[in-house]
Amino acid sequence: MQITAQELAVLLGGELIGNGSTVINTVSKIEEGATGSLSFLANPKYEEHLYHTKSSVVLVNKSFKPQQLVSTCLILVDDPYASFTFLLEKFSNPETQLSGHEPMSFIDTEAKLGLNVYVGAFAYISKGVVVGDNTKIFPQVFLGANVRIGSNCIIYPGVKIYHDCILGDNCIIHASTVIGSDGFGFAPLADRSYKKIPQIGNVRIENDVEIGSNCSIDRATMGSTIIKKGVKLDNLIQVAHNVEVGEHTVMAGQAGVAGSTKLGKYSVVGGQVAIAGHLQIADGNQFGGQSGVNANIKDENKKWFGTPVLELRDALRSGAITRRLPELLSRIEAIEKELLMNKKA
């Protein structure tokens, strides 16, 4: 990456304040800036760093008004964070340049790979697999029979995608995630043992989905486990059989969704949230970290917290009362003691 401040401003459709010939060749945090680096200011709590940074160019919001003298170049854009992300994707993603099939990879003769597909060493591509153009399959990836992967996907090392699963375009699957492992289905028998229920469905992942490392997305017992378009899953997430995760939902690490639950679009699920099975969750609901969801939620666009979840305002009130319990206990004990003394008197 080497670009002038003026070229950068044109590329981003922003307004340049400063020397347009300033050259940028790297990126950095605003508090760790150095000559030749590009930074951004999106969170107001980092504004103080703007007045001392050594970064050559900083992206700021068009509405930003500096409170002190700024010595660096500024580029005013609609959304500094989105603009910075765009530049990282454009200039700092070497994975998109990979192509060809490395030695020691296995590609079945009945697999169909599109144009400019990269296959890393020790990857295994089974019979009937279809891979779209420009997709990158890193070393030690396993693609089971009849898997279909769209165009412009990145499948990082060690990912395992079982038979018959489907991925759309522009998906990113991070290392060691497993897609299509058996759902947790066992029938209890009279002798209190369990018999495995065959899991004959698949997983269907739509376009523009990103899944973090070490996640497990279970195949459906019948039909499909569905991750809809635009979903973003953090690391270490469990999505059980026949779950449906709605469009543009985000889930933080260690969250889990039990079988057959339907999670509405635009949901926000915090870390370590547990969602029970066979539930219907309406669109746009947000769940604070470590919450437990054990009932249907019919209302849209509400915030929830606690176990079991309460609406956020009620949960905060409940928490305030809980924090006062030791004080209230002491007051009750004092009253009891006073009553006992009065009785004796």
Question: Which residues does the annotation mark as catalytic?
Answer: 241
**Positive or negative torsion for Cα 102, 104, 109, 110:** negative
Pairing mode of beta strands 194-196, 186-188: antiparallel
Residue with tokens 């165009």: 151
Question: What is the C-alpha end-to-end distance of the chain, expressed in Å?
Answer: 88
How long a stretch of residues is the chain? Answer: 345
Q: At what angle do helices 80-91 and 5-12 cross, to 10 degrees?
A: 110
CB within 8 Å of 76: residues ≥ 6 apart: 14, 15, 17, 60, 61, 62, 64
- Return the bridge partners of 188, or none: 194
CA distances, 261 to each of 58, 84, 103 (Å)? 44, 36, 43
- Cβ–Cβ under 8 Å, residues 264 and 300: yes
Long-range pairs of 246-254 with CB within 8 A, sequence gap ≥ 24: 246/283, 247/206, 252/289, 253/212
Buried b (16+ CB within 10 A) or exposed e, 145-161: ebbbbbbbbbbbbbbbb
Distance (Å, rounded) from C-alpha 96 to C-alpha 118?
9
In this structure, what is the dihedral angle of CA atoms 47, 85, 38, 25, given to the nearest 10 degrees? 170
